[in-house]
Amino acid sequence: MDIFITGVAGFIGFHLARDLLNNNYEIIGIDNLNSYYDPELKKSRLKILFEIAKNQKKHFKFIECDLKDRKSLDKIFKEYKPRKVINLAAQAGVRYSLKNPSEYISSNLTGFFNIIDLSKETNVKHFLYASSSSVYGGNEKLPFSESDGVDHPVSIYAATKKSNEMIAHCYSHLFNLPTTGLRFFTVYGPWGRPDMALFLFTKAMIKGEKINIFNNGDMVRDFTYIDDVVRSVNELVFMPPLKNDNFDRLKSDPSSSWAPFEIFNIGNSNPVSLMKYIDALENELGLEAKKNFMQMQKGDVVITSANTIKLENKINFKPSTSIKDGIAEFVKWYKYYYKV
């Protein structure tokens, strides 16, 4: 098989698989279809992938499997022998990690280990994995650069993502497995996750309910539209990292290595205040939000901002979709999907 995608029924996994299928690549996807959010939304995404594969006469194989199930994963890898692996399966959400930290340890650490270890054993040519802007934690130097230290996470979720990056480096160093870490910055768009702000706000506003606005609205995010993410990642899939022979161990850069290892910020590099984001949604819906201002939540950070120069130099593309255009596309999808 060409490409193996874990979390294929998830938000980003679905969009990546759809784009790759449309470009004539064969995909094997796995997902455990858990109930963290509505499994029916995940099944609707899968239905579209099957339809595309049928129309394109390309192979799309879906297997329901949990990354913690090493025995089942071993059979899948041995049977399908993927050349490239994009690992997007993980327990997501910063706030949820405060209530269920054990789920993050088992899914994001044990699951991650299983998938990268099997990639090593089956000689995968490129292993890509979802990290997060959350790894920057308590950093206040803006914008966040891949060369910055990320040693002070402020949530269990962020700590697991930082751990993924460290494990990946070990596998690149010890086994010469090319690995690429993808630090996603607040991804949004059609078919998005119901636990994320845009989805929650839209649903509440249409129902005439209040929206919860944390830190009294004093939040800034580097909102990144899904199509920009897809283009960035699907370029990187075919550009495995090489060893950096000029790596200076006296001036260590966390985003590069003497091993075939790299990390990239995947962000819009145009941070927007949460209140401006809400204004754009109000304009698109033609509704005024009923606002419930709340205190800062544990595990959150006030500002995220991506330096994407490294990404731009690598793939000659800069994510740049405006929130106006991105929110318009989301609202159009939401009204269509939920028939409102």
The candidate with the shortest Cα–Cα distance to 218, out of 157, 306, 278, 267, is 278
Contacts of 234 (CB under 8 A, 6+ apart): 16, 19, 20, 23
CA 25 to chain centre: 21
CA distance 244 to 150: 21
Max intra-chain CA distance, the chain: 58
Alpha helical stretches, state H, 62-109 = 70-80, 96-99, 101-105
Count CB-CB contacts under 10 A for residue 157. Answer: 25
What is the chain's percent helix, strand, coil content, to nearest 5? Answer: 45, 15, 40
Identify residue 286 by its one-letter amino acid code.
Answer: G
Contact predicate 237/327, CB 8 Å: no
Q: Which of 129, 157, 171, 277 is catalytic?
A: 157
Does the CA dihedral 36-41-44-48 come out positive or negative? negative
Active site residue 36: no
Which two three-digit tokens encode residue 7? 């979390």
* Contact yes or no for 83/125 (Cβ under 8 A): yes
What whole-number distance in Å separates Cα of residue 69 and Cα of residue 76? Answer: 11
Question: Within 10 Å of residue 242's Cβ, how many Cβ atoms?
Answer: 11
- SS3 state of residue 293: strand
Give catalytic residue positions. 157
